[in-house]
Chains A and B, each alone.
Chain A
């Protein structure tokens, strides 16, 4: 249904909308589909002369590493302790709380202890000693709220701004807005949850944007990319000749099927694949990192290795000019039955790698130009579920940002006393997206794409960057 909806002439209540020439790039590409101009267009494309290289304002970050804590980490058990919960532990909540799975229990205090860290005195859970060393680098956005209490729609909203599936992800918008700075690697890489993410590939999809802007998932386990070596009986020149003819025939085929962005996306994917063969092999080779660095990310320990490898790879990717990297945690923070055990496990797996990433970026002078984001699709309830767990809470949760122009050691907004709802300076998902675009020099109101007869944005019709957290 959805796929048909965004293809060709789109059925719309007001009649048929033809979106065949939806932007300058696609128009030029299609207009130039005669064979003589193909090579020239490709050359221009590769050098990004057609791309939108200009930012709207001075960027504070060149790239983004988004540490996606899938499943919904609890604010009050990680970075936003709520003493009121200790006082009212076991009591009935002041208002009737709508929980996703029903049967809310009484208010439940955090099973964890907290200490203040850094000059800022930021409270951080004792299970995150490595991140705690970076307390003065973090800007905690404590008053986030989202719209859906269910994982799938919430994942879509956090990634695309919409709770429904099929819209372009933030990474796709950013690729659309900014030229790639490395032609031999994808501009948007997804380092996946080994269990698979709720909602799957639509979380990093291109939606109605040209499909070449979708995120490229690397494998969650084992070698991140397969098949980077040519078959032994095929040399580079022969393969190039093969691709040239295939591209020519694919282009001719695409002109007979106008409006099918996937066809062009696939042509693009073969060109990128050809270029990746030379550089990606080196990029994904974590064995080339010195032992102390590998140990710092936790690659020498079973429980930190998987996430550590992804964090280290993320650093290598942005170091080579990849614009947008999403690092999904393995498993989930979705702690319905035993929050103490499940959250402690996630913190044990992610704390050291995240701390290492922040230190490593800083030492290499990359933190200043890399926006690091930590957060999930929602948070968790102040009341208990099944005695020891917490249910989904889209009304109030925490996201932190660091690096890339962010003023460390700060916080913005507050939840209410018990950590249920965003109370002071609420920050919506649109606001978070506007903030990310702002750091990259993009004005969220001006980054638009015409679809279905109107201009669309990552932030739809709302959103305001959280200016207060910028230095």
Chain B
């Protein structure tokens, strides 16, 4: 957690630091645990809605972002899934600013 600004226990922490640096991005991209979660997420989506790409994208969006994709997003995601695994779409949802930052 040190990479994501976990406070040092030696001193009081009035407010957490908020940093956005490459080591955090590397963790989200390459950490085996996060990749594992992306695989589990994809398994759940497939189990819930089956093989249809459009339904998969809508369901994954709903779970990860609590909303349905817009028309453009849906179209782009379907194009993406023609060349890529659902695992990769699920993984990329974890990296989105919208996923990380609460509005």
Does A369 have its Cβ within 8 Å of any Cβ on chain B? Answer: no
Contact partners of B76 in chain A: CB under 8 A: 245, 248-249
Contact flag A270-B29 (CB < 8 Å), given A226-B3, A231-B35: yes
Contact partners of A96 in chain B: CB under 8 A: none
Interface centre among B11, B30, B85, by most chain A C-beta atoms within 10 angstroms, is: B30
Q: Evaluate contact between B2 and A219: CB separation under 8 angstroms.
A: yes
Interface string of B72-91 (1 = CB under 8 A from A): 01001100100111011101
Question: When chains A and B are docked, how far (Å) is the Cα of A230 from the Cα of B91?
Answer: 13
Q: Which of B26-56 contact A (CB under 8 A)?
A: 26-27, 29-32, 35
Interface string of B1-37 (1 = CB under 8 A from A): 0110101101100010111111111110111100100
Q: Evaluate contact between B30 and A231: CB separation under 8 angstroms.
A: yes
Does A302 have its Cβ within 8 Å of any Cβ on chain B? Answer: no
Q: Could you tell me the dominant secondary structure of chain A's interface residues? A: helix
Does B95 have its Cβ within 8 Å of any Cβ on chain A? Answer: yes
The size of the chain A interface, using a CB distance under 8 A, is 53
Interface string of A1-42 (1 = CB under 8 A from B): 111000000000000000000000000000000000000000
Question: When chains A and B are docked, how far (Å) is the Cα of A212 from the Cα of B25?
Answer: 13
Does A217 have its Cβ within 8 Å of any Cβ on chain B? Answer: yes
Does B63 have its Cβ within 8 Å of any Cβ on chain A? Answer: no
Q: Evaluate contact between A249 and B88: CB separation under 8 angstroms.
A: no
Q: Evaluate contact between A242 and B91: CB separation under 8 angstroms.
A: yes
Does A350 have its Cβ within 8 Å of any Cβ on chain B? Answer: no
Contact partners of B18 in chain A: CB under 8 A: 3, 262
Residues of A near any B CB (own CB < 8 A)? 1-3, 186, 195-196, 198, 200-202, 205, 211-212, 214-219, 225-231, 233-234, 238-239, 241-243, 245-246, 248-250, 253-254, 262-263, 265-270, 272-274, 276-277
Known: A242-B88, A277-B30. 9 other contacts (CB 8 A): A3-B18, A226-B3, A227-B29, A227-B30, A241-B88, A253-B97, A263-B97, A269-B22, A273-B25
